[in-house]
Structure 1
Amino acid sequence: MDLKIYKDANEFSLKVEPILIQKEDVNSLFLGVLQGIKSGLYENAFMATIEERDKVIAIFQMTPPHPLNLIFVDENRLEENMDLLIQNLMNLKIELPSIISLKPRAYRFAEKWEAETGMTTKLVMDQGLYRLDQVDDTLEKSPGIWRFAERKDCQLIGKWYYLFAEEAGLPILTTKEINDRVALMVSNQEVFLWEDDGEIVSMMKKSRPTKHGVTVSLVYTPKDKRRKGYARTLVAAISNELLKEFDFCVLYTDMMNPTSNKIYKEIGYKKIVDSVQLGFEQENGISISTEIEKTRN
């Protein structure tokens, strides 16, 4: 049993995609990021497997400074797979700002990482992964209409992007970083807006398409426009549009936010797994996970 590190994203993809696609919804984050690596969106990606006699029993992926995504294929080999991964991470001096995985596995890995490094674990985001196959068309709709974001909307979207990150406790990007991201998202027609009487009142985006699914993210309504159902109506409308192209939609929710979880369930999203993102801090409390970005963005 050995840990194999891949430098070629296409070679890695050929090895792991047949396994990941078996649970495409659960593995949507991993698959979506892998597509991004293959298209050149990420630099210095860490891609690895644990293999025994050419059989893959664990899969790992990290695009620094984002979290290390842990997938353990063989539940019976969980403990030894974690030990082997930790040994290699330490030997290779790979910095580990944070991890993301199914909740029990993430916490077990964190226990082992703490024991080996002396670091402490910090909860970054307690997440639920939801899947949608059909929108509840009986939902009451808020007034207005959706449209694609345009270049003229970039300034407003950039402002809301900042506020979204601030409210979610995410690292605040520089103005240039935000502007660059927004410009790319808008040019790719990934951002959707809801207008009521000509005023933009809510936004969301699509991201990380996989073979059969797509992720819904960056859902934001300014405080003075909340409690009017705009976000729910927008997400329902766009999810319905996305289902014309994809078999399903997925989204990550903050389980500590009962409001967002409630509205997604009303739309028809159903929780399929509990996920968690954990960061690591040194004993003196200095965080090495300050660059973490929430995966549903």
Structure 2
Amino acid sequence: MEFVQYEDAKQFAEVAEPIIAKNEDVFSLFFGILQAIKAGKYENPFMAAVTDEGDVLALLQMTPPHPLNLIIVNESRKDEAIDFVIQELRVNSIAIPSVISVKQWAISFASAWERHTGETQKLLMDQGLYRLDKVDESLEMSPGTWRFATDADAPLIEKWFAMFEEDTNLNRTSPELVKERVATFLEAREVFLWENEGKVVSMMKKSRPTKNSVTVSLVFTPKEERKKGYARTMVAQGSKELLKDYKFCVLYTDMMNPTSNKIYKEIGYQHIADSIHIGFEK
């Protein structure tokens, strides 16, 4: 086996994209980040492939400090490939804070990482991956209308961004970085807001667009406006707008939150895979 690292994202894409394209919905996170790397949006990305006599066995991608994303291409050689990957990561002194992948692959990697390094794994997020091709038109909508967020909405979105991280137990982003990110979101017209009687009551974000797909993320409704159907309506109307430009939408849900999984199914999202994010502690 050979461990091939890539400095040039376009060269890596020539290897990775034909594989990803076969299951673009399941590999949407990997594919979307690869497009961002190609566009120069990440500094010092890590990209690698495991090959054997010309056959690709695994693909790896990481944009520190974010998790390692792993795709196993040859399932029959999964354990062999993972052990080889970990050996090469350690030889090359590549730090791995966490791994995110299709559930069974991430679990296998985490177990092997524990065995090789003595570090302890910690579950960070158990997620469901959903795909939408068409919104259910019979869905009852909450009152109000959607609009794109503008610069005037920045303070509210910054506040809600921090509250979203708190609700989902994500690592807190510094206020300075939140401000930067929100400004970037607004410039790219990526934030959708649901407004009722002049008050913004819910939001969602467009993320990681590719030629065929786009991810719905950062779905948030403040506590005082919950249980009124606003999030479901926002995602339904926002997704419908996105489907004008993309073949399908994808989104990740917290499998420990049955409410969110239920509302996405009501919109028309179909569960296509399970994903898991596992961290490592020394």
**TM-score computed with the length of structure 2 as normaliser:** 0.99
Segment drifting more, 102-111 vs 258-267: 102-111
- Structure 1 match to 2:76: 76
Q: Secondary structure at the match of 1:57?
A: strand
Does residue 1:30 correspond to 2:30, yes or no? Answer: yes
Residue number in structure 2 paired with 1:192: 192
Q: What residue identity is the alignment partner of 1:193? A: L
Per the TM alignment, residue 211 of structure 1 is displaced from its structure 2 partner at its CA by 2.0
Counterparts of 1:57 and 1:90, CA distance in 2: 19
Aligned partners of 2:76, 2:113: CA distance in 1, in Å? 20
**RMSD across aligned positions (CA):** 0.7
Secondary structure, counterpart of 1:250 in structure 2: strand
Give the 5 Å matches for 1:210-289: 210-282=210-282
Q: For the residues of structure 2 that align with 1:79 and 1:252, how far apart are their CA atoms? A: 26
The residue number in structure 2 matching 1:134 is 134
1:6 matched to which residue of 2? 6
Greater shift in the superposed pair: 97-106 or 150-159: 97-106
Post-superposition shift, 1:52?
A: 1.6
Deviation track 1:58-106 (CA, whole Å, cap 9, x = no partner) reads: 1000000101001010001111100110000111111110001111111
- Which amino acid is 2:105 matched to? R
Give TM-score scaled by structure 1 length.
0.94
Instruction: Give the match for residue 53 of structure 2.
Output: 53
User: Secondary structure, in 3 states, of the residue corresponding to 2:154?
Assistant: helix
Deviation at residue 51 of structure 1 after TM alignment: 1.0
> Aligned pair 1:99/2:99, yes or no?
yes
Whole-Å Cα distance in 1 between the matches of residues 80 and 167 of structure 2? 39
Q: State the alpha-carbon separation in 2 of the partners of residues 105 and 54 from structure 1.
A: 22
Post-superposition CA distance 1:126-152 (Å, at most 9, x none): 000000011011111100000000000
Please list the CA deviations of residues 157-210 of structure 1 after superposition, one character each: whole Å capped at 9, or x if unmatched: 000000000111111111110000000001100000000001000000011012
* 1:64 aligns to 2:59 (yes or no): no
Partner AA of 1:63 in structure 2: T
- SS of the residue corresponding to residue 66 of structure 1 reads coil
Distance in structure 1 (CA, Å) of the matches to 2:176 and 2:26: 33
Q: Which amino acid aligns with 1:270?
A: Q
How far apart are the structure 2 equivalents of 1:197 and 1:94? 52
Aligned to 2:146: 146
In structure 1, C-alpha distance between the alignment counterparts of 2:187 and 2:8, rounded to whole Å? 28
Which amino acid is 2:10 matched to?
N
Secondary structure of 2:228 counterpart: coil
Q: Which amino acid aligns with 1:60?
A: L
Q: 5 Å matches for 1:155-174?
A: 155-174=155-174
Share of identical aligned residues, percent? 58
Distance in structure 1 (CA, Å) of the matches to 2:246 and 2:132: 11
Deviation track 1:203-222 (CA, whole Å, cap 9, x = no partner) reads 00011012211000000000
Secondary structure of the residue that 1:90 maps to in structure 2? helix
Please list, as runs of the form range in 1=range in 2, the aligned pairs for 1:193-208 lying within 5 A after superposition. 193-208=193-208
CA distance in 2, matches of 1:86, 1:103: 18
- State the shift of 1:54 in Å: 2.2
Q: Which runs of 5+ in 1 are unaligned?
A: 283-297
